[in-house]
């Protein structure tokens, strides 16, 4: 039994370089905050990233901050999380 997998998905999952994978994620899902990028990346590909590795990758000129969102930690503190997008 052969499965018919769309070419777009084959291309998405076949990407090898982490920066290109992040570009593909942002192309598919639009602007995302840093935690969502990390969670989606680690659930999609084996050999996931740490937050520090993701921060280093997002320094690339292909990405830019598109504002921040506020969230509340379980201790009650309010923190900001950056939203990233692909540069135009």
pTM: 0.83
Asked whether the CA dihedral 63, 46, 73, 31 is positive or negative, the reply is: positive
Confirm if 70 and 78 have CB atoms less than 8 A apart.
yes
Summarised one tens digit per residue, pLDDT across range 14-67 is 888 999 999 999 999 999 999 999 999 999 888 899 999 999 999 999 999 999
Higher pLDDT pick, 7 / 45? 45
How many CB atoms are closer than 10 A to CB 65? Answer: 12
Three-state SS string over the chain comes to CCCCCCHHHHHHHCCCCHHHHHHHHHHHHCCEEHHHHHHHHHHHCCCCCCHHHHHHHCCCCCEEEEEEEEEECCCCCEEEEEEEEECC
The position carrying tokens 């090898």 is 16
């Amino acid at each position: 039994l052969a499965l018919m997998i769309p070419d777009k998905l084959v291309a998405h999952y076949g990407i090898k370089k982490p920066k290109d994978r992040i570009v593909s994620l942002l192309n598919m899902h639009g602007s995302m905050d840093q935690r969502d990028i990390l969670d989606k990346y680690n659930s999609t590909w084996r050999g996931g990233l740490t937050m520090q590795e993701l921060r280093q990758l997002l320094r690339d000129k292909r990405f830019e901050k598109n504002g921040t969102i506020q969230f509340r930690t379980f201790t009650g503190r309010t923190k900001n999380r950056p939203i990233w997008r692909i540069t135009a």
